[in-house]
């Protein structure tokens, strides 16, 4: 049985964090190729450091594209984040592209042929999770951490708070009673800022943002409200620290409140089950909780490279279930085809919808009209309720 009284912390990082800059560039490259060929194969890794943007990885695309188009896409992603600094500028940074053709051996294992269905793009285990502690059915610490940084970015980009610069981190610590959050114990926000502002200045700029995100009366004690605790934070982003694609996998998912299979999402087309199976796992877990079958749900799927069917389906309702886990383990694969092709088709993943996922979490978001965040829909609820 899980503990019901405890203290738990999650962190988030902004779109201007060096690793998130890389995630955004990599996912923008995925979108570029999917816009030309819905069945393009992409595995794009990005490295950033002081005035350097480097791409590496494998691609296969039936549409026409040029190196200039790839470079323009990467630079546009950095520009949208807001980097126009001496040490990292969307226009002036050196750009190198080492993307090349996908391995024929990998392609052979993944492609469908004859009686063979499309196989998984790699082996691995993927987890999905949902909890009823927030309306988004996400753990509260990571949800609040994301929202703080998202609102700061909105204020920065709108011009209302030009003092903020793109690089930032947040961290929220909550106290739980009987399995539900009841109090914020501390909040940490570290944000890059323009020259000339003191730590006290930045603290007062951040304060109303945090208050607007947290429930009424949940603002932490003053001595537990930490803003830029090291002092000055003018040099940031890739100029202050090198970035790489895929290094913020806990930020991308559930803030440590649920298991993680270890595979990153960004830069990967949906044949890669690291991404697509993690999305369908969240989709299934969210629908289970939304249907009232449990207050919490963890789902694990596993795959082998080149094999279409999942090797295992595991469900854990954490002692909160209104139905046996074994019933869900048998029934969920009947509701949704959990092969790589079935996942792609059910969630309609072969679309350029990924750049928007690169910051502020892949989960707990609102589904978009064009199919973005389709894994956040709760359209299985009626079917699942009938099981109970």
Domain ranges of the chain: 6-13+142-236, 124-132+270-387
The topology under which CATH files domain 6-13+142-236 is GMP Synthetase; Chain A, domain 3 (3.30.300)
96 vs 147: CA distance, rounded Å:
34
**Is 275 designated active site?**
no
User: Phi/psi of residue 186, each to 5°?
Assistant: -160, 155
**Is 272 designated active site?**
yes
Q: Are 106 and 57 in contact (CB under 8 A)?
A: no
**Is 247 designated active site?**
yes
**Is 269 designated active site?**
no
**Is 296 designated active site?**
no
pLDDT of residue 1: 43
Residue numbering of the annotated binding site: 17, 19, 45, 58, 102, 167-169, 241, 247-248, 264, 268, 272
Q: Which residue has the tokens 């990599």?
A: 26
Active-site hit among 41, 169, 295, 296 = 169
Residue numbering of the annotated binding site for K(+): 45
**Is 274 designated active site?**
yes
The topology under which CATH files domain 124-132+270-387 is GMP Synthetase; Chain A, domain 3 (3.30.300)
**Is 316 designated active site?**
no
Active-site hit among 71, 80, 201, 241 = 241
CA distance readout (Å), 10 to 3, 50, 168, 184, 325 = 17, 29, 15, 12, 28
Residue numbering of the annotated binding site for L-methionine: 58, 102, 241, 272
Identical fold between 6-13+142-236 and 124-132+270-387: yes
Residue 347: CB atoms within 10 Å: 22
Q: Read off the pTM.
A: 0.95
b/e burial code for range 323-341 (CB count within 10 A of at least 16 → b): bebeebeeebbeebbbbbb
**Is 385 designated active site?**
no
Question: What does the radius of gyration of the chain's CA atoms come to, in whole angstroms?
Answer: 21
162 vs 188: CA distance, rounded Å:
21
**Is 45 designated active site?**
yes
Active-site hit among 127, 233, 265, 373 = 233
Q: Are 2 and 139 in contact (CB under 8 A)?
A: no
Nearest to 188 by CA among 156, 151, 141: 141
pLDDT of residue 123: 86
**Is 36 designated active site?**
no
SS3 of residue 355 by DSSP: helix
Active-site hit among 24, 41, 193, 268 = 268
Q: What is the pLDDT along the chain (388 residues), one digit of tens a residue?
A: 468 899 999 999 999 999 999 999 999 999 999 999 999 999 999 999 999 999 999 999 999 999 999 999 999 999 999 999 999 999 999 999 999 998 665 555 566 555 456 777 778 999 999 999 999 999 999 999 999 999 999 999 999 999 999 999 999 999 999 999 999 999 999 999 999 999 999 999 999 999 999 999 999 999 999 999 988 899 999 999 999 999 999 999 999 999 999 999 999 999 999 999 999 999 999 999 999 999 999 999 999 988 889 999 999 999 999 999 999 999 999 999 999 999 999 999 999 999 999 999 999 999 999 999 999 999 999 999 998 7
């Amino acid at each position: 049985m899980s503990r019901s009284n405890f203290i738990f912390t999650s962190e988030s990082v902004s779109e201007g964090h060096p690793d998130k800059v890389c995630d955004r560039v990599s996912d923008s490259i995925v979108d570029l190729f999917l816009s030309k060929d819905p069945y393009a194969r992409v595995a794009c890794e990005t490295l950033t450091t002081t005035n350097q943007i480097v791409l590496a990885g494998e691609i296969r695309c039936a549409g026409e594209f040029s190196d200039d188009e790839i470079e323009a896409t990467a630079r546009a992603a950095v520009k949208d984040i807001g980097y126009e600094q001496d040490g990292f500028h969307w226009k002036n940074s050196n750009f190198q592209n080492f993307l090349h053709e996908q391995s024929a051996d990998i392609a052979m294992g993944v492609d469908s042929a004859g009686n063979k269905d499309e196989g998984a793009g790699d082996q691995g285990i993927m987890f999905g999770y949902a909890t009823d502690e927030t309306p988004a059915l996400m753990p509260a610490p990571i949800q609040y951490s994301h929202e703080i940084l998202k609102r700061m970015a909105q204020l920065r980009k709108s011009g209302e708070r030009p003092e903020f610069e793109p690089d930032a981190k947040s961290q929220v610590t909550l106290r739980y009673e009987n399995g539900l959050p009841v109090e914020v114990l501390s909040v940490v926000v570290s944000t890059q800022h323009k020259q000339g502002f003191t730590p006290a200045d930045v603290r007062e700029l951040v304060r109303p943002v945090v208050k607007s995100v947290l429930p009424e009366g949940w603002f932490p004690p003053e001595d537990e409200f930490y803003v830029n605790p090291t002092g000055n934070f003018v040099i940031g982003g890739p100029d202050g620290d090198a970035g790489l694609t895929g290094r913020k996998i806990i930020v991308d998912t559930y803030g440590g409140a649920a298991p993680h299979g270890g595979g990153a999402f960004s830069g990967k087309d949906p044949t890669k089950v690291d991404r697509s199976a993690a999305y369908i796992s969240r989709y299934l877990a969210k629908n289970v909780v939304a249907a009232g079958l449990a207050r919490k749900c963890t789902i694990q799927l596993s795959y082998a490279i080149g094999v279409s069917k999942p090797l295992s389906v595991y469900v854990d309702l954490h002692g909160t279930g209104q139905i046996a886990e074994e019933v869900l383990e048998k029934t969920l694969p009947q509701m949704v085809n959990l092969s790589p092709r079935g996942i792609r088709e059910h969630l309609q993943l072969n679309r350029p919808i990924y750049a928007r996922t690169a910051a502020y979490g892949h989960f707990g978001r609102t589904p978009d009209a064009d199919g973005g965040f389709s894994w956040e829909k709760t359209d299985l609820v009626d079917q699942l309720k009938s099981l109970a």
